[in-house]
Structures are given as C-alpha cells and as structure tokens.
Amino acid sequence: MRDFHLPGRSGTYATDGMCATSHPLAARTAIDILERGGNAMDAAIAGAVLLGICEPQMTGIGGDCFALFTTPGDPAIRALNGSGRAPAAASAAALRDKGHETVPLHSADAVTIPCAIDAFCRLSADHGRLGLDTLLAPAIRYADAGVPVAPRVAFDWPVAGKALQGHGIAHYTRNGQPLATGDIFRAPGQAEVLRRIARHGRTAFYEGEVAEDMLAALNALDGVHTAEDFAAAQSDYTDPVQGEYKGATLVEHPPNGQGATAILLMNILRHFDLASMPPGSAGRIHIEAEATKLAYDARNRFIADPDRTARLAHMLAPETAARLAALIDPRRAMPAAAPLTEAIHRDTVYITVVDRDRMAVSFIYSIFHGFGSGIASGKFGILMQNRGAGFSLTEGHPNEMAGGSRPMHTIIPAMLAENGRVTMPFGVMGGGYQPAGHARLVSNMVDFGMDVQAAIDAPRAFADPAGLKLERGHAPDVAQALADLGHEVIVPRDPLGGAQAIRIHDSGVLEGGSDARKDGCALGY
C-alpha cells in the first residue's frame, strides 16, 4: 500500500470493464464503447484512433500498430502484425550510392506504407461487435471540434515539431509555432478521412483520393512509393513468443517487433536473485543494466522482418541466456552494446482494454519519431511515419532495407499469464526502452510484490549506448554507487517511457494502473 502522505495515485478498481491509456479522453471513449455493448476490441480501436488526435506527435493514421488479444472462453493469446512494408522500389544500395550510412530520418525514403488502418479494419471485422462507423465517430467528432492540448503533449511538441516540414507545418503548428497546454488542436482533414473509412472501409484510405494525397506528398520529395504499394498494404495474424519468469509467463509479439528482446532479458535476469536486493538499489539497477546491454546486442544482430529473422530460437534458448548471464560482473560495468545503425525512437501510444467477458486487448500504435517523418499530405494532413528509418543500410544485415520488407520495430504490446490464464495485458512506451521497461515492470511485481500502480510509478533506469539513463526519482546516493561501478550516469531530459496495465485478479476484480509520466489514466465501470 502506498504512503498516502506522499503525492501519487491509487490504482483503479472495477469489475465490468476497464481501459488504461495515455490520454483521459481516449480512456473515457473506450469505456463508453464498452457500456454501449462493444467488446474490448471495439473499445481499443475507438480509443487508439482518438489517441492520434489527442497525441498527434506520437501516433496517427499514417502509422503502424501491433496487437495481442484473447477471445472469450479461449486461453490462447493471438497476435496481429499491423506494420507496413517498404515500397517495392526501395533499395538500401541506392541509398548507399548516395552516400548515406543510415536512412535519413525526415525523408520520403524513411516512409513505409502505413498499415494501422488495415489492422483496425481487419480487427473490427474479425473480432469486434460494433461497426467502424460507431468506433470512428468519437475521433471524427474530436478531430472536427478540437482537443485541448494536454501537458505532456505540449512538453513534447516544441522538440518533436522541429521535424515538421511543408504541409506538416501547416497542419501541426499555429503559424509555425508549437501548440501549448490548453491550445485547441483540430484536424478536420483527418476527420474527413475517417468518415470515408467509416463508410467504405480500408479502400477509402489505400485507394482513391486519400492515397493520392499521400502519394503526391511523397513523390514530390522523390519518394519511390506507388499506388500499387498502398493498395497492397495488409496486416497479418501471427503467433506470439513467450518466456517464463519465476512462475509468470511473459508473452510478446514476435519479430519484426523487438518483444523477443524482453524475453531474453528476463531469461538472463532469472540467473540473479533480484528479490534479495532493495528494489531501488544500485545493485539491482547494475544487474538489469548489464543484462540489458547483452539482450539488446542480440536484438541488434537478429531481429528483422519475420521472413528474415533466422535465429529467433537461438535468441530465446535457455542456454543462450545462461551463457550471457555468466558474462555479467556484479562489481563492474561492461561497455555498452554497439549502437544500431538504424534509428531508435521514443514516441508511441499504448492502450489496453479488458471487458466483461474478460476479452483482453494489448494494443500499441506509433508513427516512430516525434511527428514521424514530418511529412504530411497536403489536403488531408495525414502525417506519415518514418518507420523505414528502422532499417539498416549495412549490406547483408537481416534488417537491411529491401522493397516489400518490414523493418525492425521497437513498439511491442505484452501480456502476463499465470497458471494458464492471462492476468495482465500491459505495455511500456518509450522506443528502445520498451523491452527493458517490460522486464522492470514484471520484476517489480514478481520479485518485489508491488501492485500495478506502484510497479508503474517506480523510478526507472536504462542502459543505452549513450550511458546509463537514471530518472531523478532515484535516491541521491544511487547515482554515485553506479558511477563507482563504471557506469556513465545520465539524467535524461525526458522520463523513461510510460506504462499502462490492467491486472485481472482471480476474484474477477480488475486493477488498472496508468503512468503519471503521461497524461492518461485507468478508468473502469
């Protein structure tokens, strides 16, 4: 139980249904859909689409998504890959010939075909109860009327907004200036696109005037995208990957997402007695940091498009984790893993919903970097992701850019299962931090017995190539102790990610937690 003398928030408890996400309007919309007879999939789709209006620097209909979900009466967890492919004419060799070592972040070369809309339509048709017209209505209304800019969104806007160019400036700034807290953001062009999708489905987005609007913006910047590339966009059902941690099963989306990294990280941590250490101690942070370096190094070598990820079984094998754990010195930090040649981001949104029938949905949705590529279509203002910057340009690398291929993705939804049933859909935003965030959240609950909200609120650390990022919530002596172990300690400008989770108790009670690092909340009824 938290100390009620100190600032903080309690978990949210309910029985009939719950949503946890990063903006209150999206959470309220999801609950409204549940109360109107929709299921968890309906609610997640409605809330996610609205998040693109509430947090436009993070996500939107020009992006990608991944989902894990269950269906009532079936313990199996299913996965949907809603990530887009590079245009058929994309070529790493062509970019190398131009002198590039990485895919330029804010270029048409970085824009892969957005696949979120196809995923929304497919999930709605296959697993929803209400039609797209009902699910898209809240986002249409708010896009037309406008949404007050929330504090965390306003915090991100000035820095992320530097990416905006051309039509992006017109649609996502006020006379070239970032919007501030309380300003009203409107997206009437997107409202019209959503109205067309509600009436005609995916073809309204991937063919005709809307697709032509996106193509015009991309081709004007020498993009090689074609109408055929957009028409061919398709999400795919797939099978999750999973690993065990002290009686709990961590279920992740498979490649091209980086979820296997979280499983490998937890497999390494199983070799250490974290529960014997104080949860905020330098000792625990050090072991997690060293395990993170090793797990991310494996990620950088192996994870790519599913068709090109050849060593996944090796990455998840117990003996691999055992060999890596043996490399960790509890008394000394090792060098960081070599940085990816491809870009890593920190911008995404996550929503989780559980309904009365205990259908659970874990859904993550992103345009990659802040405001994506910065390229928006002229008429409708569709901001396009720069997910293609997640490709490598290294010749022969599994993640090398190629026409029709999908890049390695950082966004990963997750679920925790215990005793043969799902007990917690959850996600931790924050780009490259996400696998480390999954591991820390699970460890906070399994090793230290924290409740959902406390596990989310606890201060975070992340070892990346720049150094060991340490949030200000840690005790003052912890940073010095970590420096003494050889870590280059950095206090980052931004907090590390943002988490959302719903615990499904044996009693049937739902317990939701939502990260104060974002603007959102958990709501139930």
- Residues labelled as active-site residues: 348
Sign of CA dihedral 367, 372, 375, 376: positive
b or e along 98-116 (b: 16 or more beta carbons within 10 Å of the residue's beta carbon)? Answer: eeeebbbbbbbbbbbbbbb
User: With contact defined as beta carbons under 8 Å apart, do 147 and 54 qualify?
Assistant: yes
Please compute, for residue 430, the number of CA atoms within 13 A of its CA located in the half-sphere on the CB side. 24
Contacts 24+ apart (CB under 8 A), 298-302: 298/261, 298/264, 298/324, 299/258, 299/260, 299/261, 299/264, 299/408, 299/435, 300/337, 300/338, 300/340, 301/398, 302/260, 302/398
Q: How many Å apart are CA 271 and CA 325, to the nearest integer?
A: 7
Q: Which of 446, 445, 454, 352 is nearest to 2 (CA)?
A: 454
User: With contact defined as beta carbons under 8 Å apart, do 288 and 439 qualify?
Assistant: yes
Residue 358 tokens, joined: 């205990």
Residue 328 tokens, joined: 């960790």
